[in-house]
Chains A and B, each alone.
Chain A
Amino acid sequence: MGNKIEVSNLNFYYGKAQALYDISLAVPEREVVAFIGPSGCGKSTFLRTLNRMNDTIPSARVDGTVTIDGRNIYAPDTDVVSLRRRVGMVFQKSNPFPKSIFENVAYGIRINRIHQNKADLAERVEKALRDAALWDEVKDRLNESAYGISGGQQQRLCIARALAVQPDIILMDEPASALDPIATQKIEELVVELKNNYSIVIVTHNMQQAARVSDKTAFFMLGKLIEYNSTQKMFTSPDEKLTEDYITGRFG
């Protein structure tokens, strides 16, 4: 299969401070790529360059290229709004809108005018909730507040919200770090399930999680990409000594 995302020689700066150094890697279509590394290594920053979420930070500056389906998303003629529609994102802390469960999922469909009519909208919302393995738990309370469900359910609601706009790629920034083991397990099963239809990039602190869900793993340290290999190889016989030290828990 081809590569969905190709990053080459990416440097990233917060003002004068450089946060990412000369990163090149490729994310294959319909696979899960995990980013691991110690806190502050730049893995979240890197993730946010893939849908230009860092544009909201005034002092941020990028050089290098990120191409998605062969087009450089940092080219001047890129429509950032439609880029973000194609590259969905799930955040570390679940961030439902102050709306009902239904309206949370419907919001992205509405603003992008994906639906044809009301029935179609309801159908799409149901499908997104089913795909996020949440439908059975919320189908009787769609019009209640999104803040009334548990943290794990809220996070799956945010995943459903991202799926509803039919992205090609889903970026997940430590999606399970604030959840208990059972909710975490549900999210992980979901990630494995979703890769049949989406290319997924997941940032995680939890190395077991990376080992469980991903096909390829990238190890970052101090803003540099130390190693990028198949997950199998990373966790059994990594090429780099640093990777091995980190994975075996000698630091970080």
Chain B
Amino acid sequence: MNTPRYYVPARSHWPILGAFAVFLTLFSMASIIHESSQGEVSLFSVSMAVVAGFLMLYMLFGWFSEVVNEGLRGMNSEQLKRSFRISMGWFIFSEVMFFAGFFGVLFYARTFSVPWLGGEGAKGVSGMLWEGFNAHWPLLKTPDMTQFQGAMGLIDAWSLPFINTVLLITSSFTLTFAHHNLRSENKQKTLFWLKVTLLLGVAFIFVQVAEYGHAIHELNLTLNSGIYGSTFYMLTGFHGAHVTLGAIMIFVMYRRVDNGHFTPEDHFGFEAAAWYWHFVDVVWLMLFAFVYVF
């Protein structure tokens, strides 16, 4: 009995529920988008989406609770804990590649396709299509202004986006303060710094929403304003969604610290949330540099 035992969980009903919840969520989203482009959204699709949403929440809560409880009961071997760490790392790598794709699109448009549209390069024949089109980045005047109206101006990088940069960088520090306090078993201070981090994250989301409002109403910068608007909303939108997810993680960690789930040595849930938060932070720095400043 001295040989190390491996971890083999018994059967579980969470994965099948998870697969069904993902399917129902995406299927109802597809139905709603499809129907709204055809005319009217049916009540059936909307109710399907509502059911899917609740099912998703139930599944996520149930599955994660089970994993957390197994950890609390000391069922996780050192090997399994290592598995969790490695898999979180690779999951974040997949997220990095997701954003890398959109950044690639941004760089391609800026460096190649927009100048080509303006007639640059050996094969720049597009001048024939839209005469008088001037290639310029950020692209405010699109080649076909009747189809894509363009935008009247840009978000000033040193206004709201700069505030957001400060907010997110600060939050990375406050999260690290929380981590240090967790390690030195100072629960009250851990909770305090987590609360500050969460507030900074929520403030970021509010500023982002305000910025969108400004962009849409005053600058007419929408998804519809050509490639600049498309890349702008794609990158900042997905980043904002990730900040929201990260904030939910921080909130869950707040609850878990409060419930005494973590020890100074063993608190991978916290670390995973922190890794994710720092990842979201780094993406923002890239965004700030290449979407707003340059």
Q: A and B, one complex?
A: no
Give the A-binding residues of B (Cβ under 8 A): none
